[in-house]
Structure 1
Amino acid sequence: MLSTPPALIAVIGPVEPPLLTAWVRHYQRLGIERILIAFHFPDHVPDARRHELQAASRELGIIPTGTSTGPWHEHTNTQLRDALRHKAGPGWHLLADADEFHQYPAPLPEVITQAERSGHRVVGGLMLDRVAAGGHLAGWSPEDGLDLAYPLGGHLTHRLLHGDPRKIVLARHDVTVASGNHRAPGRRPDTDRICAVHHFKWRSGILDDLRRRVHHFTSGTWQEQTPAVRDEASRLLTHVGQHHGVINTSDPRFAFRRVSLDRMPFSWPDEARSIFTTWRPYAHTGQD
């Protein structure tokens, strides 16, 4: 007997409304029926932007569980996410940020059934950073879609930013998931069945967001648990500063290649398993 489709859980920041629409449509195509979101808007976001995004949500038939404003402390997302998970109740929870589009190696019901049969209470994913062909931090057209605007996929998060590229993409309701959905303490996913998490973060406006993040965490206006998030933002800003405002897509470390939401990258299972099982937190030496 197949499980009930999972509930999609997300805390949504001030993204552009077309991204929210594309995100919702993507997960609906995967068979998601319940979508629980909460909005959080830092103080710099204009009222008009908030209202526009809330209107887009209503047009999609989604009533946000809540809307909050104020500093985006590192613990803010986790607290809001866990409140949504509590509201979602028993069953499987699909966890995805608004710029994360999951691509599973099999239909979602099969993925969940396989996890249950093998005794896994979580399913793992690995970030596949999506960027424009020339590495520009460009905007995109809803008519053309995200795949056309950001055709390259690679490993920017951990090989440049030294961030954790691992994700918990599905978890049973009673499984605790760490901040950022990177780990589920005491639980290990099946590393032979790792989801590709297409990460559409590197869009127009991201540099301002990263500068703001560095400023607020450094000043203490936003509270951080470790300096990791701030350091990752600084590394990206330094990189684009050294490459005339773009991401260097020709750097072989990042393994950028053309990918699509319609087809898993070639040799993904081996690639994902290798990274997922060998990744370790970055040991800061004072030299990047």
Structure 2
Amino acid sequence: MTPAAPTLVAVIGPVEPALLTAWTAHYRRLGIDRFHLAFHFAEHVPDAWRRQLLGTARELDLPTGQVSTGPWHEHTNTELRDALRRQAGPGWHLLADSDEFHTYPATLSDVAAEAEENGRAVVGGLMLDRVSADGRLALWRPESGLDCAFPLGGHLTHRLLQGDPRKIVLALSDVTVASGNHRAPGRRPDSHTLACVHHFKWRAGVLDDLRRRVDRFTSGAWTEHTPAVRTEATRLLQHIDRHHGRIDVSDPRLAFRHVTLDRLPDDWAAEAAQIHAAWRPPRQSQPGSTISSPSS
């Protein structure tokens, strides 16, 4: 019996309305017709931006009943996500941040069915960071699309920022998923059928967001459980400063190449499986640590 289409569960921050529009269209093309969303706006977000984004969501026929405001503590996203999962009910849940666009090796129904046949309650993915052709943190025009504005995909998150690139992209409703959707304790996805999680974080405006995270977590205004978020942000900010406002897309260790959303990158299964199996948390969590080797 083919599983029902997953329910998409996501916590949406103050992204630009065009990104929410592209994100919604992407997942509807994959077959998603049920969305359980929460919108959270930290204290610095202007009311006009909040109203515009929620207005766009209503135009897209997305649910907007779950709206919260206030500090973006490290636990905020997890608490909102888990409440949404309880509301979503039984079955498969697709977990995606608003800057994450999944590409799967087969249809969602086939991916979920294969996982169930193999006795797995989760499906994994691996992040691929999308950036502009010259590494600028670019503005993008909806009419040209994300693939055109950010044509390169590479391993910025784990090789430069030393962050966890692993993702749980699909999970059965009774499975506990860790913060950031990086792990499901006690569950192991098939590392040879990983989805590609295209990560469109590196857009115009992200530097202000990263500096704010560092400041708020350092001051204690926002609560953190580990220093990982601000140390990863600091590494990116230092890299940008060293490279005159750009991400260094020429560094071979970051493996940037042209990719698109409509198919998996060349040799993705082997590449993703190797990274997924080999990744370990960094031994040192100090900002400014050197880029890890490609085998890490």
**8 Å Cα contact 1:65-1:84 kept in structure 2:** no
Q: Which residue number corresponds to residue 256 of structure 1?
A: 256
Q: CA deviation at 1:262?
A: 1.1
Q: Which residue number corresponds to residue 101 of structure 1?
A: 101
For residues 234 and 90 of structure 1, what CA distance do their matches in structure 2 show?
39
Q: Which residue number corresponds to residue 141 of structure 1?
A: 141
Q: Which residue number corresponds to residue 59 of structure 1?
A: 59
Q: CA deviation at 1:65?
A: 3.6
**8 Å Cα contact 2:6-2:32 kept in structure 1:** yes
Once the two structures are superposed, what CA deviation does each residue of 1:31-77 show, in whole Å capped at 9, x if it has no partner?
A: 00101110000000000000000000000011224100000000000
Q: Which residue number corresponds to residue 244 of structure 2?
A: 244
Once the two structures are superposed, what CA deviation does each residue of 1:138-165 show, in whole Å capped at 9, x if it has no partner?
A: 0100000000000000000000000000
Over the matched positions of the two proteins, sequence identity in percent amounts to 66
Write the letter of the residue equivalent to 2:273: R
Once the two structures are superposed, what CA deviation does each residue of 1:124-144 show, in whole Å capped at 9, x if it has no partner?
A: 000000000000000100000
For residues 225 and 64 of structure 1, what CA distance do their matches in structure 2 show?
29
Where do 1:36-51 residues align within 5 Å? 36-51=36-51
Q: Which residue number corresponds to residue 87 of structure 1?
A: 87
For residues 158 and 212 of structure 2, what CA distance do their matches in structure 1 show?
21
**8 Å Cα contact 1:43-1:69 kept in structure 2:** yes
Alpha carbons of structure 1 residues 285 and 70: separation in structure 2 relative to 1, 3 Å: closer
**8 Å Cα contact 1:36-1:65 kept in structure 2:** no
**8 Å Cα contact 2:231-2:285 kept in structure 1:** no
Q: Which residue number corresponds to residue 73 of structure 2?
A: 73
For residues 263 and 34 of structure 2, what CA distance do their matches in structure 1 show?
25
Q: CA deviation at 1:285?
A: 6.9
Where do 1:227-238 residues align within 5 Å? 227-238=227-238
SS of the counterpart of 1:97?
coil
For residues 190 and 263 of structure 1, what CA distance do their matches in structure 2 show?
19
**8 Å Cα contact 2:41-2:70 kept in structure 1:** yes
Gap runs ≥5 in structure 1: none
Q: Which residue number corresponds to residue 293 of structure 2?
A: none
**8 Å Cα contact 1:36-1:64 kept in structure 2:** no
Q: Which residue number corresponds to residue 155 of structure 2?
A: 155
| Bigger mean CA offset, 56-65 vs 97-106 | 56-65
Gap runs ≥5 in structure 2: 291-296
Q: Which residue number corresponds to residue 30 of structure 1?
A: 30
Q: CA deviation at 1:181?
A: 0.1
For residues 135 and 61 of structure 1, what CA distance do their matches in structure 2 show?
34
Q: CA deviation at 1:273?
A: 0.1
Q: Which residue number corresponds to residue 278 of structure 1?
A: 278
Q: CA deviation at 1:113?
A: 0.4
Once the two structures are superposed, what CA deviation does each residue of 1:166-207 show, in whole Å capped at 9, x if it has no partner?
A: 000000000000000000000000111000000000000000
SS of the counterpart of 1:68?
strand
* Structure 1 position 224 matched with structure 2 position 217: no
Q: TM-score w.r.t. structure 2 length?
A: 0.96
For residues 285 and 110 of structure 2, what CA distance do their matches in structure 1 show?
44
SS of the counterpart of 1:74?
coil
Write the letter of the residue equivalent to 2:173: H
SS of the counterpart of 1:33?
coil
Q: CA deviation at 1:228?
A: 0.3
Stretches of 4+ aligned residues off by more than 2 angstroms: 285-288
Q: Which residue number corresponds to residue 177 of structure 1?
A: 177
For residues 273 and 107 of structure 1, what CA distance do their matches in structure 2 show?
20
**8 Å Cα contact 1:115-1:121 kept in structure 2:** yes
